[in-house]
Amino acid sequence: MTAAANVSFLSQRLSSRDATVGVLGLGYVGLPLAISFAEVGYQVVGFDVSDAVVATLNSGSSHIDDVTPSRVGPLVANNSFRATAVVHDLSTCDVVFICVPTPFDKAKTPDLSFVESATRSVAKVLRKGMLVVLQSTTYPGTTTEFVRPILEETGLRAGADFHLAFSPERVDPGNTRWNVRNTPKVVGGLTPTCTELAKTLLLSLMDDPTLVRTVESPDVAEMAKLLENTYRAVNIALVNELAQLCNEMGIDVWSVIDAAATKPFGFQAFYPGIGPGGHCIPVDPFYLAWKAREYDFQTRFIELAADINDQMAAYAIARMQDMLNERSISLRGASILCLGAAFKRGVSDVRNSRAIHVMELLRDRGARVTYCDPHVPHVRLGGDTLQSLSIDDVAKVNADLVAVLVGGEWPLASLESRGIAVFDAVNAGGAPGAHRHRL
Ligand SMILES: NC(=O)c1ccc[n+]([C@@H]2O[C@H](COP(=O)([O-])OP(=O)(O)OC[C@H]3O[C@@H](n4cnc5c(N)ncnc54)[C@H](O)[C@@H]3O)[C@@H](O)[C@H]2O)c1
């Protein structure tokens, strides 16, 4: 088939939903995407290196909070979705998405080993006319400088024999308002044809054709994602710094933000806390900082924001210590119940959880730590495993201090009525009371 015939063949298969879609990496990003494609009529093959993930999904169950077994089960039963750990099962795919982790190492250097391994898997099944879309968050240049050469080791040429694009994921775990179907997508391909093919496919998930924004290159799409996440990291750092100043000045930072947020233009509210956790905000800006060094460029905002955000755990503990001092209780030996363990409200994901970091710091300082998080049944703290208390236990607890580290439906009123000191790091309880202080 000629190159033009290949494009038209794939385009038709995408439009008619006869195409088979492969998704490599069936986690928080890959699974919702895979299931959404199966739900709109594509054949979907999900590939993951974890046998446990593959077995869970093929049994019709799910390991991701936002994808219920009631969505997976019928798709497995009617063969529109199946998971596999065998690379060659992807050989029937017309399109593959790469949705594998992009962490950093201890020196905050990007770890592209998962992307490399997934790309090498794709190379084993790559054929003429295939579309490859990278979705993992990464530094500008990854698609063209890192993924492309690996795929071209096959002898096939990107943009001629096969199509290549980057389209960042914007999934927000736990968010019931915004999902794969209604969140706008950005996509940049190696050539205009690559971009158009990826756009056609992504639009098939959406009702509104304006929801896919094409950009001129994968680099622009990669940088756009890093701008989004760096913007959050920097603005969170700004309010975290402001929260510390406001405390010194006796001004309520939460009232300040609410007041500023009445401005209908030019301001977006961000809120202080113990620092952003998870797989994205504390990690992604460092992908950019690392890449910038190649250009002898220092990304000062990124470093400063990370510095301020990282200090918030210690700052929160200092504030707890002040509250204990008022009651003549030392932190060493104090019993402290922490509310929340996940990296944010309503999810079970504990990657880079700042709440767990606070628990570790409290323990290091000699406090006796317990916790409650209905989404996280146990956490590892040092060499120990702690079991979550139930919400009923929380209401009855007799701790020296309760620290609200993550938002949630916590029984704060019953704690306050019993005179228990509460440090509320996330404004879960509204205006402070006699025994409850806010960050
Ligand atoms: N979680 C989020 O909210 C979010 C949002 C936007 C973007 N992202 C980005 O999406 C990417 C994936 O993140 P995630 O949260 O879905 O990760 P995850 O850890 O939830 O899932 C990744 C999956 O990939 C599998 N995997 C690892 N190596 C593989 C390989 N070589 N081949 C096939 N499968 C492999 C793992 O077993 C795991 O199931 C990351 O780059 C992340 O930064 C995540």
> Where does residue 69 rank: exposed (0-12), middle (13-18), buried (19+ CB within 10 A)?
middle
Tens place of pLDDT per residue across the chain (439 aa): 677 877 888 888 888 899 999 999 999 999 999 999 999 999 999 999 999 999 999 999 999 988 999 999 999 999 999 999 999 999 999 999 999 999 998 888 999 999 999 999 999 999 999 999 999 999 999 999 999 999 999 999 999 999 999 999 998 888 889 988 899 999 999 999 999 999 999 999 998 889 999 999 999 999 999 999 999 999 999 999 999 999 999 999 999 999 999 999 999 999 999 999 998 999 999 999 999 999 999 999 999 999 999 999 999 999 999 999 999 999 999 999 999 999 999 999 999 999 999 999 999 999 999 999 999 999 999 889 999 999 999 988 999 999 999 999 999 999 989 999 999 999 998 888 889 999 9
Tell me if 219 is assigned to some domain.
no
- Give ∠ CA 156-157-161 in degrees, rounded to 5: 75
DSSP 154: T
| Residue with CA closest to ligand 1 atom 21 | 27
- pLDDT at position 14, please? 87
Instruction: Mark whether 347 and 293 lie in a shared domain.
Output: yes
Instruction: Mark whether 186 and 287 lie in a shared domain.
Output: no
Indicate if 280 belongs to the active site: yes
> Where does residue 382 rank: exposed (0-12), middle (13-18), buried (19+ CB within 10 A)?
exposed
Instruction: Mark whether 309 and 366 lie in a shared domain.
Output: yes
Smallest CA-to-CA distance from 271 within 227, 224, 230, 237 is with 237
Instruction: Mark whether 210 and 345 lie in a shared domain.
Output: no
Instruction: Mark whether 202 and 280 lie in a shared domain.
Output: no
Instruction: Mark whether 207 and 328 lie in a shared domain.
Output: no
Q: Catalytic residue among 93, 194, 280, 372, which?
A: 280
**Do 23 and 54 form a contact (C-beta atoms < 8 A)?**
no
Instruction: Mark whether 172 and 259 lie in a shared domain.
Output: no
| Residue with CA closest to ligand 1 atom 44 | 29
Tell me if 243 is assigned to some domain.
no
| Residue with CA closest to ligand 1 atom 13 | 101
Residue 303, C-beta contacts closer than 8 angstroms, at least 6 positions apart: 289
Tell me if 223 is assigned to some domain.
no
Distance from the CA of 211 to the center of ligand 1, in angstroms?
A: 23
Out of 192, 214, 236, pick the residue that ends a domain: 214
Tell me if 236 is assigned to some domain.
no
Smallest CA-to-CA distance from 61 within 47, 72, 74, 45 is with 72
Domain with residue 75: its CATH number is 3.40.50.720
pTM of the model: 0.94
Q: Which domain holds residue 201?
A: 3-214
Q: What's the domain count of the chain? A: 2
Residue 37, C-beta contacts closer than 8 angstroms, at least 6 positions apart: 21, 23, 44, 204, 205
Phi, psi of 429 (to 5 degrees): -110, 10
Of ligand 1's atoms, which has the minimum distance to the CA of residue 170?
Answer: 6
- 3-state class of 134 per DSSP? strand
Tell me if 59 is assigned to some domain.
yes
Instruction: Mark whether 256 and 205 lie in a shared domain.
Output: no
Tell me if 225 is assigned to some domain.
no
**Do 402 and 419 form a contact (C-beta atoms < 8 A)?**
no
Distance from the CA of 242 to the center of ligand 1, in angstroms?
A: 34
| Residues in contact with ligand 1 (CB, 6 Å cut-off) | 24-30, 47-50, 53, 99-102, 114, 117-118, 121, 136-137, 169, 171, 173, 279-280
- pLDDT at position 214, please? 97
- 3-state class of 100 per DSSP? coil
CA separation, residue 52 to residues 63, 92, 138 (Å): 10, 23, 26
Rounded to whole angstroms, how far apart are CA atoms 271 and 239?
A: 6
| Residue with CA closest to ligand 1 atom 28 | 114
Out of 214, 243, 276, pick the residue that ends a domain: 214
Distance from the CA of 194 to the center of ligand 1, in angstroms?
A: 23
Rounded to whole angstroms, how far apart are CA atoms 178 and 172?
A: 7
Tell me if 237 is assigned to some domain.
no
